[in-house]
A and B are shown apart, each in its own frame.
Chain A
């Protein structure tokens, strides 16, 4: 028996028969629903599992796994990707560990229960494990396993280390993270590396997601502050920007970036690459949405907070940075994570402007001679669908966890 007294209510144990009666056959109508739904669910589940385990011809994924992940990236340069992955593992380990430690402290300080039963901890590992299995499960050689294990170990070690960092180092973590991401990028494309036009598959998907995230979130916060500014001129311009980008479909904007964006630059400028153009559009688009989310958070911060900050004699910049923004951002974490997930899913649209992202590759591999015209598109799309699904699901679950930890919406 542990010394700490649990604040949880005791778990009520119910006999299966009783449980079924309460949850499946409580009323005649409920019983009818169960009788209709049970075979339906059973058929769908059986059909799906049989497809995954038996019927699906996964050789299309096995043959092309590298293609799905990196596209036309030169195969002799793959070590750069592993290097970059290792750097990213450190960056995200650092962020993850730090967020975990900070929110844990916050939760303990506020007396909120920590959601860490043994089952929670196991369930939490589910999505990332599933992601690794769905990617590595098709690997034909031993190397990816070893390297992935190394990267994962590095990430976990950093996250454990991050919890013990002193406060002074903690504050500079955002800067370290951005630097780390830049270095990771440079590890791939710098020093005679591979230009971004040769990137493809999951790599380019992640590039768009992370690149747009890192730049558009600060930009979005600026636009949100601009929209709440006391200067009408600033308010109008920021408002017009946000409304324009929120009112337009992303694909149309990507087309504009593809076909028209070069025209906006002077004739003597070298035309930006397609990747840069698409990234620019993702940044402009996402920052408008982030601005709207953050504006909601800013509105949730009471006037009294500004006034108290003023009474303390803080400068307007410090009032915003130290008092208002932390509260505003905390209130909109679910929205911000949701937007990151949206961005991740929206990167599929680059296929329409001819980029070889994960989804485009899923379509193109079915045109290889040995797979052409045999309906392999289903296997291919199910595979990338699962990759997108697990990643999004994982992020949304982590965001819900964070929300509970921080007690968002509770007072």
Chain B
């Protein structure tokens, strides 16, 4: 290698030998790492396919169009001869429904409790602290089972059900509450409501322009709400009412009308909301405390009332700090919907488990479930990120 060495001395900076050349080392390391990972994944996948073949388990997704052979709690329209695919879709929509309602309730309760923890009223602050400390240190599964077996199952039997006026029936088979059914001819009203929304947006824009021009208070939210209310009220009376109230009626052992909150659903929802709200409350409290003291003092100096100080100065800034962490809690809540399986709530994992128990291939079913929850997580994080970006400080 004498020629090579001579060429190096002439060419100036000496290139290190390959095994000391950082570029070569990096390349070799990455190739080795990639090869190792690939080999591991291949080994696992190879084992999976050979094991499934050996045991005679199918490896395709054709089973999805086979009849399910089971019924689903809370979905009376689903029949056993419907496909597994349809069953999984019902499971997914059940999961999404609990996730959305749970997130909204947890957010509201969490914010209220979080602000209450900072109340100047000792009793309120301590009660809020107790709420948070009590709930966030208990496994959510304990809560779910407690509400299902301990509380909702202990309610009176349907024959001795408790009536709350005409609007609710409470029994151990669930709670029926007054609800509404969509009436005939609701489409015209829907169009009217859309128009009302449009009008409200225009009014809000107009108020903003007035504010920009004259500096008079814009009160655009108030104006927009009033416009919307006025137009929809007019439509309500001019057209047929789009919805009809539906009161639960007990007839023997059967309840008709109303909305049925069955124990499986209710216990899961209550537990998830209680659990998530305690974490959200803690985030809200931390975020409010993280807003610099000077901001509150400046608001005081401007003569804002304590409510105004919170509404216009502290909360908007706290929200910016809290948003990513609260988004994380939303994701946790959505994933915890799968706890429903413990009480037999028909979310997608429960449906898949039932199907697997009927002899359908578990690997594919679990892939579907994982994809379902990953999609749900993805949708929530996309929404949170959009919201988050809008909140971020626009720096000059």
Contact = CB atoms under 8 A, between A and B. Distances in A.
Nearest to A248: B370
Given A247-B373, A252-B366, A30 B120 contact: yes
A265 B30 contact: no
A224 B73 CA distance: 43
A396 B137 contact: yes
A33 B119 contact: yes
Interface in A231-251: 231-234, 237, 247-251
A149 interface: no
Contacts of B366: 252, 255-256, 259-260
A262 B120 CA distance: 57
B335 A248 contact: yes
Nearest to B378: A247
Interface in A287-326: none
A34 B123 contact: yes
A273 interface: no
Given A255-B366, A267-B51, A385-B142, A233 B34 contact: yes
A46 to B, nearest CB: 14
A278 to B, nearest CB: 14
Interface in B165-181: none
Interface string A1-35: 00000000000000000000001101000100110
Contact of A23 (B44, B47, B121): B121
B123 A377 contact: no
Interface residues of A, number: 52
Contacts of B133: 393
Q: How large is the interface on B (under 10, 10 to 19, 20 to 34, 35 or more residues)?
A: 35 or more
Contacts of B378: 247
Contact of B121 (A24, A263, A378, A393): A24
Given A385-B138, A388-B137, A30 B121 contact: yes
A363 B145 contact: yes
A349 interface: yes
Contact of A392 (B48, B137, B356, B362): B137
B26 interface: yes
Contact of A363 (B26, B30, B149): B149
Nearest to B352: A255
A387 to B, nearest CB: 10
Contacts of B337: 249
A286 B87 CA distance: 31
A154 interface: no
Interface in A363-411: 363, 375, 377-378, 381, 384-385, 388-389, 392-393, 396
Contacts of A26: 120-121
A348 interface: yes
A247 B52 CA distance: 26
A252 B369 contact: yes
A231 B149 CA distance: 52
B313 interface: no
A233 B34 CA distance: 7
Contacts of A30: 120-121
Interface string A98-138: 00000000000000000000000000000000000000000
A364 B283 CA distance: 36
B235 interface: no
A78 interface: no
B14 interface: no
Contacts, number: 147
Interface in B20-49: 26, 29-30, 33-34, 37, 44, 47-48
B341 interface: yes
If over half of B's interface residues share one DSSP class (helix, strand or loop), that class is named, otherwise mixed; here it is helix
Interface in B219-248: none
Given A251-B349, A255-B366, A349 B141 contact: yes
Nearest to A377: B149
A211 B66 CA distance: 42
Contacts of A231: 26, 29-30, 33
Contacts of B145: 359, 363, 381
Interface string A23-67: 110100010011001101100000000000000000000000000
B186 interface: no
A346 B54 CA distance: 35
A388 B139 contact: yes
Contacts of B138: 345, 385, 388-389, 392
Interface string B252-264: 0000000000000
Nearest to B49: A263
A345 B139 contact: yes
B339 interface: yes
Given A233-B30, A346-B139, A24 B335 contact: no
If over half of A's interface residues share one DSSP class (helix, strand or loop), that class is named, otherwise mixed; here it is helix
A166 interface: no
A198 interface: no
Nearest to A35: B123
Contacts of A378: 146, 150, 154
B185 interface: no
A249 B335 CA distance: 5
A44 to B, nearest CB: 9
B149 A259 contact: no
Given A260-B362, A263-B363, A363-B145, A351 B342 contact: yes
Contacts of B52: 263
B377 interface: yes
A266 interface: yes
A375 B142 contact: no
A266 B123 CA distance: 62
B141 A375 contact: no
Contacts of A237: 33-34, 37
Given A23-B122, A255-B366, A389 B50 contact: no
B123 A38 contact: yes
22 contacts: A24-B121, A30-B120, A37-B127, A38-B123, A231-B33, A247-B377, A248-B370, A252-B373, A262-B51, A263-B51, A263-B52, A263-B363, A264-B47, A267-B47, A267-B54, A346-B139, A348-B141, A359-B145, A385-B142, A388-B138, A388-B139, A392-B138
Interface of A: 23-24, 26, 30, 33-34, 37-38, 40-41, 230-234, 237, 247-252, 255-256, 259-260, 262-267, 341, 345-346, 348-349, 351-352, 359, 363, 375, 377-378, 381, 384-385, 388-389, 392-393, 396
Given A237-B34, A265-B51, A345-B138, 19 more contacts: A26-B120, A34-B123, A233-B34, A234-B29, A247-B378, A249-B373, A252-B366, A255-B349, A255-B366, A256-B370, A259-B356, A260-B48, A263-B47, A264-B47, A352-B342, A359-B145, A378-B150, A385-B142, A385-B146
Give the 6 A-B residue pairs with the shortest CB-CB distance, closest first: A392-B137, A23-B122, A345-B139, A233-B30, A249-B335, A249-B338
Interface of B: 26, 29-30, 33-34, 37, 44, 47-48, 50-52, 54, 119-124, 127, 133-134, 137-142, 145-146, 149-150, 154, 335-339, 341-342, 349, 353, 356, 362-363, 366, 369-370, 373-374, 377-378
